[in-house]
Structure 1
């Protein structure tokens, strides 16, 4: 159970991030829902405690790879636990993709990876979670823009470059995923008709 000082710290930090998210959201069209901004502020405050980000596995402290979280979600029998794991996956993908993209880029992992993993996790939650379905749906549909908002709020505001957008477009062409199409359109990319794709 968190101590009183830890709880106060998270509340104060959440308020700080919510104020910054509110200001940053004014530049987005359409503006994210208030509930989504509230969720993001709480997420950033929660991850202000490194114990929420790192895990201890096989004698090492590290961030659990998103692919392993995904595998855990697929293999678990309980719907409730699957949703918990996918929420952790989505939250970590958003946090790590916004704050540490260069660390992963050096290992050949682009923002598209975080967008795919996090957006997919939130998409499932938008349809299956017990609570906050509208929040998770918006996080899934607007993951790329909200990742940039979080990066800006945290002072890591690198816009998606041409390579990132091209990789996202290529992934959309391969999968036809409407969620990726919505993200591309939100960035101003005009997509060809689905019938004209080969």
Structure 2
């Protein structure tokens, strides 16, 4: 039996996220492809480096707005560069929509905006990218569910205060999303019958 000093405990951030994604994906039907989960784990690890999220534009460091990335993709003449920009747009839409929805909601940007922008970018890549077309197609088709999976994986273990729970409940009342219902029940919230609320 190897000693502790002989055992290698190397584990990358991408591996950490992939394990959590695989565990969370067991609740999805159909389950996402392994290649898609691998891509999502790599995406989360890549965006763990803030240089991959933020850009330097007009003397300021900020997250480039998705609409401006879309404009850049439309205006570029080179097909390869268009695919790179659209991949960045899709990846940012997933990341920002999953991890910072409240921040954007306060500014009037809904979840549907991320789904439309990211899903559209991945849809183009599913038909036109050189590699990973199946992955991009699945990301396009199931963007909303995969965005929720990322949110759950990244938010698991986070302490929620009363304001967070009330906001979650309000979103459930507006959408009746079964995933939100499951999250609320997991927090011990007893939900009213759907037909009984006015």
Aligned counterpart, 2:68: 68
- After superposition, where does 1:1-198 map in structure 2 within 5 Å? 12-155=12-155, 161=172, 163=174
TM-score by length of 1: 0.75
Q: Is the 8 A contact 1:112 1:164 kept in 2?
A: no
* Equivalent residues of 1:111, 1:164 under 8 A apart: no
Structure with larger Rg: 2
Between the aligned partners of 1:98 and 1:126, the Cα distance in structure 2 is: 21
1:67-86 per-residue CA deviation (whole Å, 9 max, x = no partner) reads 00000000000000000000
1:7 corresponds to which residue? none
Runs of 4+ in 1 over 2 A off after TM superposition: 156-166
Specify whether residues 137 and 162 from structure 1 end up closer, same or farther in structure 2 by C-alpha distance, changes over 3 A only.
farther
TM-score, length of structure 2 as denominator length: 0.75
The structural deviation recorded for 1:64 is 0.0
Cα offset, 1:164, TM superposition: 5.6
For 1:161 and 1:38, how far apart are their aligned partners in 2?
30
Root-mean-square deviation (Å): 1.9
For structure 2, which runs of at least 5 residues remain unmatched after alignment? Answer: 1-10, 159-167, 178-198
Structure 1, unmatched stretches of 5+, are: 1-10, 167-198
Q: Which digits, 9 at most, give the CA deviation of each residue in 1:40-75, with x for residues without a partner?
A: 000000000000000000010000000000000000
Structure 2 match to 1:174: none
CA distance in 1 between partners of 2:150 and 2:78 (Å): 31
Corresponding pairs, count: 156
